[in-house]
Amino acid sequence: MVSARRGRSTLGCLFVLLLLTVAGYFAVNFGEPYLRFYRFQDAMRQEARFAASRSDADIKRRLGAFADSLGLPPEARRVTVRRRAKSISISSEYSERVEMPAFVRDIRFSPDAEGPL
């Protein structure tokens, strides 16, 4: 015996899929800048690890090129390198604009890394 289906479960499934799509859209738009930030900070940590064999100018050049390859804003390429007697500090500051249909938000990032020399 075949009974008629009411369709309520199909609309519920579509609603859940719509919610997942919207959540994925927001996650991608907010997630990409944070992913670039973590990759840039990881590159800074790598440079700090090998800073004993590299000059400050070389570190700045390498990190500037990496920021460029990530598609970071131009101010991210302004890397500060401070050497002390037995340690090194590398930092930068930049902001990225995230545009959504309902709002626009500027997110400020300050990647940094420290290491021994």
Q: CA-to-CA distance for 27 and 4, rounded, in angstroms?
A: 39
- Comparing 27 with 76, the larger pLDDT belongs to 76
pLDDT at position 14, please? 84
Residue 92's pLDDT is: 97
User: For position 46, what pLDDT does the model report?
Assistant: 97
Of 79 and 27, the one with more pLDDT? 79
Residue of 53 and 7 predicted with greater confidence: 53
Gyration radius (Cα) of the chain, Å = 23
Six-digit token string for 49: 């690890």
The whole-number average pLDDT for the span 28-41 is 92
What pLDDT does 89 receive?
A: 97
Domain coordinates of the chain in residue numbers? 12-116
